[in-house]
Amino acid sequence: MKNDGENIDYNKLAAYIAGEGSAAEREAMQRWIDASEDNRKIYEQYKKVFQLDYMIDPPTEDSIDEAVVFNTDNAWSKVAQKAGLVTEQDKTITLPVDPVAGHKGKGTSFPWLKIAASVVIGSTLVFYLVNRQVSKEVAVNFEEGINEYYFPDSTRVVLNGASRLVFNKDFNHNHRTVQMEGKAYFDVVRNENLPFIVMTKDGQVTVLGTAFLVEENIDNMTVEVERGKVSLSSPRSATLSSIVLGPNEQGILDIEKNILSKTKLSSLNHLYWANRKLTYRQAPLQQVLEDLAVIFEKKILYNPDAIFDCRVSAVFNDQKFEDILQNLSVVMGFEYIISENQVEITSNGCNAN
């Protein structure tokens, strides 16, 4: 390892500061630090900016096999705030950089700084090495529940369960690209000049303006379209490189087999958690009650034979369970008793008319 800042491996230096890396790598880094006063200054400056409150000192022989456990969210927050890179309100990274030729403005000189941002991923520090450029990556993370988020272009996304979005701060300037993990429903504002692109580790969805669901798990990537058209593509697909999906169509990427396929959906009412909309056209009342039981987590008791011939045509927009049930009872002519998480229909429904 050469004794200068130009050839230092900043990944290994970061690992050393964090107490990570193999014994041989840590010994090599210690030799590099001890090789010259300039090297030690680089190390001290780097450590001063990036070291977390709870990072250990460079490991000793007694602690060399001890594991260092990081809370990734807290780690990045503390690193960024300590270095003055980010505020609580704005996640924009503003690392100080040297003034660039042709650029007018004030800047702070850090000749040793060759990275634009440090982002904690998993339990390792991944450093993006760039030539004094400023990284502006934003991550949106949710661990559970139903959560709503709006992008800078006013596109709405509803995330279900443990989900993650990552995009650059120049989003909506010359691109609208988002990296996604988990399950999310997108209601995209139309822009003919800037397609909206959702990327997962195995596939890509491209749209102009539409509403659709994206879900990726260990086996499949699933896309369901509510309105508009969506292109689902996979660079590794063994058959088709992409498929186009329209309203009420579902596209599936089989991750193991690298195969794309699409089918027609009879209903999108299972997306009520995201779009708050239920649509029925001559649907059996029994199906409606089953949907309501699942969506609102209620137990609904009824006599299937009594409502066998009952049909429902209705649209419910962002209505409470009690309101939907009341409307159905008026239209279909049944009576019911409701108590906490259980409903009992006490008459013969439409057959009673």
What is the model's pLDDT at position 239? 61
What is the model's pLDDT at position 19? 65
- The lowest-confidence range among 9-13, 97-101, 224-228, 315-319 is 97-101
Distance CA 276, CA 187 (A): 12
For residue 349, pLDDT over 50 is answered with yes
For residue 86, pLDDT over 50 is answered with no
What is the model's pLDDT at position 85? 41
What is the model's pLDDT at position 98? 32
Distance CA 167, CA 198 (A): 10
- The lowest-confidence range among 107-111, 138-142, 193-197, 260-264 is 107-111
For residue 326, pLDDT over 80 is answered with yes
Q: How confident is the model at residue 240 (pLDDT cuts 50, 70, 90)?
A: low
Q: How confident is the model at residue 209 (pLDDT cuts 50, 70, 90)?
A: confident
What is the model's pLDDT at position 7? 61
CB 210 within 8 A of CB 228: yes
For residue 24, pLDDT over 70 is answered with yes
What is the model's pLDDT at position 348? 73
What is the model's pLDDT at position 165? 95
Contacts of 154 (CB under 8 A, 6+ apart): 189
Mean pLDDT over all residues of the chain?
75
Q: Please give the average per-residue pLDDT across 77-96, as a whole number.
A: 40
Q: How confident is the model at residue 340 (pLDDT cuts 50, 70, 90)?
A: confident
Q: How confident is the model at residue 351 (pLDDT cuts 50, 70, 90)?
A: low
What is the model's pLDDT at position 347? 76
Q: Please give the average per-residue pLDDT across 47-71, as a whole number.
A: 40
What is the model's pLDDT at position 56? 34
Q: How confident is the model at residue 55 (pLDDT cuts 50, 70, 90)?
A: very low
Residue 289's Cβ-side half-sphere holds a number of Cα atoms within 13 Å equal to 24
- The DSSP line for 45-100 is HHHHHH--TTPPPSP-TTTTT------HHHHHHHHHHHTT---SS--------PPP
The sign of the torsion formed by the CA atoms of 111, 112, 114, 116 equals negative
Tell me the domains of the chain and their CATH numbers: 10-129 (no CATH), 138-264 (2.60.120.1440), 276-352 (3.55.50.30)
For residue 293, pLDDT over 50 is answered with yes
User: 10 Å Cβ neighbour count for 76?
Assistant: 22
For residue 16, pLDDT over 50 is answered with yes
pTM of the predicted model as reported, rounded to 2 decimal places: 0.59
- The lowest-confidence range among 60-69, 160-169, 246-255 is 60-69
The better pLDDT of the pair 144, 237 is held by: 144
Q: How confident is the model at residue 127 (pLDDT cuts 50, 70, 90)?
A: very low
Q: How confident is the model at residue 237 (pLDDT cuts 50, 70, 90)?
A: low
- The lowest-confidence range among 110-124, 148-162, 262-276 is 110-124
